[in-house]
Amino acid sequence: MTTAGLMGWALASTLKDGRYLRLIPSFLLAVLLHAIWNGLTLLLTIGPYLNDNNFLKSLGFVSPIGLLVMMAMMLAALLGWNRILNRQTAA
């Protein structure tokens, strides 16, 4: 939801004020967040089955913490952006 919200905001604000360069960092951030989320999820699911690589196996056990931290940060970002955009709309 956070990456979709970020891209939706970038597209809507670009159409509103014509600042097209805003799309590039927004897109890159959305891709990066999504890639980290997918990577942590992949490590969570296959980590216990990696017998040969102890480093990746240990990351598989730590990845739930990373997912919880990302979830909390992205929820906080959504709520913060919502508050900021509501203030801008009211003004």
pLDDT on residue 69: 95
pLDDT on residue 89: 82
DSSP 54-89: HHHHHHHHHHHHHHHHHHHHHHHHHHHHHHHHHHHH
In order along the chain (91 residues), what is the average pLDDT of each group of 10 residues?
Answer: 92 90 93 94 82 73 91 94 88 75
How many CB atoms lie under 10 A from the CB of residue 8?
11
pLDDT on residue 91: 75
pLDDT on residue 23: 92
How many alpha carbons lie under 13 Å from residue 41 in its C-beta half-sphere? 8
Domain boundaries, the chain: 2-85
pLDDT on residue 68: 95
pLDDT on residue 61: 79
Q: Report yes or no on whether pTM surpasses 0.85.
A: no
